[in-house]
Structure formats: structure tokens, C-alpha cells
């Protein structure tokens, strides 16, 4: 955190040509290297005018740019001013969603990414998740299947529960980086999982597969859990390919077996 006595030394004067851009870069650098911490107020406009050696309009233009980038928030009132914004997972998710819309990738690349992340998360969840967490995951998977198997399934509700279960599973891995990534992935995009839920046959198989995955995790069976987790992506690839008029992959016979509680 910057002390009042250090404010006068926080920034350097800028040139006339691209003054606003230089101010943005200096403030970004101060945020990134910790000289300005989340929740901390920037110097007043007058102080920044003196430090940067420029006018109020240029300062306001730079602050507007930083606000659009999600690095600052502007508050009004007695304690108003420009504050360093504390980013959370929702900010990352929104940015990721926008980025994906602007830079779309082919479905296979997206599925491949999700599958590789899920394998790591599943293994860690089995090793680190508590008994209560594993039971909650299983019960959630049962609810998920019931929604999908209803006569007129609420696909919006199913999608929300599916995201919740994936984020819950990531939390069981007890690794904040994996949890943040999965949260961003689930809120931003979900590997075309909606394609499975729109088809009645795939919908039924996806619901049953979630139960078997959660059951294997609950029972501490990593090989079986990974097999069912992978089978989700077998179904997804086949479903996406069928929608595109291509030939799907072959089913995995042993994964069609059912197992009693």
C-alpha cells in the first residue's frame, strides 16, 4: 500500500504525444507490481496532474481506459475517487467468454482442453475430497439425472446444476488455481455440453454417466472414475459429430454397465 508521503513519488512525468497511454501504462505497472493494492485509492486528479505533468482531461481519459479494462472502479461521494479494483473469478469468466466469442476455436480443441483438466481434478478430488463432499457430489449427480430424465426437462436448470457440480468437483481438488480455472471455464463456456442435453438419447446417457462418475469418486475408485469422466467426452464428441453429419466414435462397452449403490 502506498503511504501518503510516497504519493509524490509514485508516478513520473509523461510526454505530450501519447500522454494518456503512458499514464495508463504507469498505473497498470503500479497495480501489477503491488505498489497499488486492490481496494486502494489512486492519488487525486490534482495530485496526478502534478505528478504526470499533464491536464485533467488526459488524466480522466486514462482513468476511463483503466476502468474499461476492469482495473479501476470510480466511486462518488465523500470517499469518492478512482480505486484499484479487486478482480474475482466472475471478472475472469466474463473476459474469457468475450475472448472466446472473438476468437472461436473448433469444438475438438475445446473438448480436449476440458478433458485434460477434468482428469487432473478427478484424481485430486478422490485423494483430497472429504467424505461429506463426495456424498454431496453424488447426490447432486442423482438430482441432475432426474432433471434430464423428466418428461419435459428444464435444460436451463440442468445446465446450472451441471456447472455447479463441476465447480464443486474442482473445489474438492483443494487447489485454488484449478478451482479458479474451472469456475472461469464453466461460467464462460462448457465444451458444447448443451449439445448432449438437447438430444433425448444423449441426455439420458450423460445423466447416467455423471452418476457413475460421482459414484466412483465417492467410492475411491480412480480408474473407474477416470474411465467414466472420459466417456462423457466420448459421448460429447459423438454427439457433436452427429450434429455435423459426421460419423461418431464407437461406444465403450464396459461403460454401459450399471452398478447398484
pLDDT for 10-32, tens place per residue? 899 998 778 999 999 999 999 98
pLDDT of residue 26: 95
pLDDT of residue 234: 94
User: Which of 2-11, 25-34, 45-54 is least confident?
Assistant: 2-11
pLDDT of residue 191: 58
- Residue 84 predicted with pLDDT over 70: yes
Q: What is the mean pLDDT of the chain?
A: 86
For the question of whether the overall pTM of this predicted structure is more than 0.85, the answer is no
Give DSSP secondary structure letters for the chain.
---GGGGGGS-----STTHHHHHHHHHHHHHHTTSS-TTPBPPPHHHHHHHHT--HHHHHHHHHHHHHTTSEEEE-STT-EEEE----HHHHHHHHHHHHHHS---HHHHHHHHHHHHHHHHHHHHHH--HHHHHHHHHHHHHHHHHHTSSS--HHHHHHHHHHHHHHHHHHTT-HHHHHHHHHHHHH--TTTHHHHHSHHHHHHHHHHHHHHHHHHHTT-HHHHHHHHHHHHHHHHHHHHHHTTPPPPPP-GGGG-----
**What is the per-residue pLDDT across 202-253, written as a single tens digit (0 to 9) for each?**
999 999 999 999 999 999 999 999 999 999 999 999 988 887 774 434 443 3
**What is the per-residue pLDDT across 158-213, written as a single tens digit (0 to 9) for each?**
999 999 999 999 999 999 999 888 888 887 665 567 778 888 999 999 999 999 99
Amino acid at each position: 500500500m502506498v503511504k501518503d508521503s510516497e504519493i509524490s513519488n509514485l508516478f513520473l512525468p509523461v510526454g505530450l504525444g501519447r500522454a494518456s497511454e503512458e499514464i495508463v501504462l504507469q498505473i497498470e505497472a503500479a497495480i501489477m507490481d503491488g505498489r497499488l493494492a486492490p481496494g486502494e485509492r489512486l492519488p487525486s486528479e490534482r495530485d496526478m496532474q502534478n505528478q504526470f505533468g499533464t491536464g485533467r482531461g488526459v488524466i480522466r481519459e486514462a482513468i476511463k481506459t483503466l476502468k474499461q479494462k476492469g482495473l479501476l472502479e470510480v466511486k462518488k461521494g465523500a470517499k469518492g475517487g478512482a480505486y484499484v479494483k479487486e478482480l474475482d473469478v466472475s471478472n475472469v469468466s466474463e473476459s474469457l467468454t468475450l475472448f472466446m466469442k472473438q476468437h472461436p476455436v473448433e469444438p475438438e480443441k475445446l473438448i480436449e482442453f476440458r478433458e485434460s483438466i477434468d482428469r487432473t481434478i478427478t484424481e485430486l478430488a478422490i485423494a483430497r475430497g472429504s467424505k461429506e463432499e463426495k456424498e454431496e457430489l453424488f447426490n447432486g449427480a442423482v438430482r441432475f439425472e432426474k432433471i434430464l430424465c423428466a418428461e419435459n426437462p428444464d435444460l436451463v436448470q440442468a445446465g446450472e446444476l451441471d456447472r455447479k457440480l463441476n465447480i464443486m468437483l474442482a473445489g474438492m481438488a483443494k487447489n485454488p488455481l484449478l478451482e479458479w480455472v474451472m469456475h472461469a471455464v464453466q461460467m464462460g463456456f462448457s465444451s458444447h455440453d448443451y449439445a448432449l442435453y438437447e438430444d433425448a438419447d444423449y441426455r439420458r446417457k450423460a445423466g447416467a454417466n455423471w452418476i457413475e462418475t460421482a459414484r466412483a469418486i465417492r467410492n475411491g475408485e480412480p480408474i473407474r472414475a477416470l474411465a467414466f469422466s472420459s466417456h462423457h467426452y466420448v459421448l460429447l464428441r459423438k454427439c457433436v459429430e452427429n450434429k455435423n453429419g459426421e460419423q461418431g466414435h464407437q461406444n465403450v462397452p464396459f461403460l454401459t454397465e450399471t452398478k447398484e449403490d
